[in-house]
Structure 1
Amino acid sequence: MCKEKGSPFGAPDVCERYGLAYASLSMAIGTVYFWLYTYNIVRISSKEETSSTGVIDETLVNVQPQEEPPLHSSDNYALEDPPLSNSSITMMVGFFIGTISPLRKLLMDNTLHAIGDTSFMIGDAAIPCKTLILGANLLRGLRGSGIQLTTIMGIVAVRYLFLPLLGVLIVKGAVLAGFVQSHDIFFQFVLLLQYTMPPAASISTVTELFKAGQNECSVIMLWTNVLAPITLTLLCTFFLWLLA
């Protein structure tokens, strides 16, 4: 959008530099928030689901206990909580280095620039890898999960209608309160954009870790991503009109 003719965001090079900074900052904060908050919600929910299922099975099925073979180390892993992903820790380290000018210059401009270049290459490779994982989860969603159509419609309505409208109120309130500069429409646009994106692909990763709700998550991810190009285009147009 920065390179489009007639862009309301000023010079393309300045717009692109600030845009990358805004997007990187929001993704860094979002990743830390996800692995500290959403991860634990799924973990607790999966435990409750497993516990309730075990109680029902014990009540309905009356069999004599049998001696079971000892579990191998790979089987024990399924009974324990999967380890917390290193994504949160890695993002914190990167955020710490990126916000301190001497460390950032040491990795990017000086003798250790090879580390920075390697990080960029790994990051570029991570994007298509994550897309492949997302595609595999969406393929599972095509098979269905028994989730009701009204539930999917409700999630889509909240995701692409009520949440963007709530975002407009929050961002406009931040501008009126002085937390966001009123003349920086590009920053406001990026903030509004956060309320229009489909659910994070990392949610599928967490459901796979805990083996809970994978099919339901795949169906939700499928339809939200199918509708994302349409809703994102309409909402971006609305935001540009609103900020202009």
Structure 2
Amino acid sequence: MRLLKGFLVLVVLALIVGGIVLWTLPADVAYRYGTSYLGPVVLTGVRGTVWDGHADGVSVLGRDLGELDWHAQKAALLTGTFVTDLRVKGADIDAAGVATRTPRGTYSVRDLRFRVPAEILAPALDLGNLRLLGVISGTVTEATLSGAVLSSATGNARWTEAGVSGDAEARFSDILADFAAQPDGGIGGAVHDDGTGELAVDGTFRANVGTFDAQATLSARNGDPQVAETLRHIGELQTDGSTRLIVHGQMLKVL
């Protein structure tokens, strides 16, 4: 009986010590042992604890995104699920949301708000000497990744202060997009202008890990001469004066 009591005391002490260690586990130690779960994500300057931490730098496929802060939810671990509030902030990128990893190895995000310069998409769109102006912001309402397959996703985005410079100079009204997961594991949606400017846009797009495909009809609303001149440098001119834009690009160029 005494042996059993002694064993129980040791177990309780071990749990207490283990809990203290886990509660105060340094973030850099956790990162060293958990890099295999992060794939192409690399952190530098990691400090704090596994629950509340900071990284001076976070990069994906070699592209530096900025600083990272996280605040993990301890109660969720009782079910084997890791849930954390993330914030990435760089010189031109700002994103924040809730990320979850389940015991089955699926990853998901919800209420992910993002803001990036429109120019970040230029390499994938291959627009020659045209430079994209303005900012793209939006929300990923929810997205779930099972293995390498995007099983669900919904969200929207808005390109504000939209415009181009380079071979042509023009400013447009806001461009809107709604997107969702596709049966092939990629993402797709529709894009259109908000109806207030001189550029009319109506198109669709699809993207996956490797490629980006889009097609759109662009036209000068009310025959605006500046927009019409810009459209001469974009896509294939149609008989009605509009431009048919077909893009096949590499998503990896964005990173």
Q: TM-score, normalised by structure 1?
A: 0.22
RCO higher in structure (CA 8 A, sep ≥6): 1
Of structures 1 and 2, the larger Rg is shown by 2
Q: TM-score, normalised by structure 2?
A: 0.21
